[in-house]
Structure 1
């Protein structure tokens, strides 16, 4: 092989190698997805790990007045601020009374959204880890009231159904609510 051909081939291999890191990780279709089994209020849910950027212990949440429904406040996460939302309030429509001791137990964990790391979902408990089939989840219609587009599927785990939370839908919901709040006239706030 001539030197020029070798250099050209080497450059092509180098470019293909670099490009492989830009592609999403490949998974086999039959390989189960990994999920966290969590509790948010009285809801027991599954959250796909691939939809999370991080799971953090819940630190001090600084309340904000006049925020959208479900917003607990701001929390510092690894040197940046994130909006902490009460996942139980988002999926059930019932708001946590607050994060102080008089209002009941504060959330223990924050699930940081992968697509929007400035949004953290406050939950009460991580109950375990689960493997869920990529196919085979059934419709969650009629499982529980109030979850709507946020929990559209259910999976059998440990002998019972658990709603499968769509983290991207949760993030889209809170962003929509925040936008609507920003568009309200100041006298309405």
Structure 2
């Protein structure tokens, strides 16, 4: 797909005359890129509306944060239709996350392996869209663990891409100020 119009030579015909045949151009192929990021949950965030400004690579116990999936149609002429995102909260340590909410373009299906689904997405040539959802790390998560999350995207029939975002759980999260006192009295 996506080939320019061209000509090809053929064999000589029965009269000994060489002929050429024009080949028409084929429609451009759709192609997309996918990037997965995680962001701090800003105070201005509300259900389904997220301010994606502070990217994170670590997470604390009981912290709410936002996963964002960036899709971009990287073709100059092809419209990408029927794009489908599936982001299951079942990768490594995902059971230690609690789903909070998602943007209106997506739905959450508890019975389907705790999956966020975004369906029937259309991307015009060069267009980028972001699909996001919030989760909260459980208090039982252990410092040093890595939370792995992968989003899979299907488009143009059977083409697919995926992107992964790994977050490390902070080992120590101070909950209050501790004042140290000397072991032995002075004097």
Q: TM-score range by the shorter chain?
A: under 0.3
Q: Which has the larger radius of gyration?
A: 2
- TM-score of the two chains, using structure 1 as the length reference: 0.24
Name the one with the larger strand percent: 2
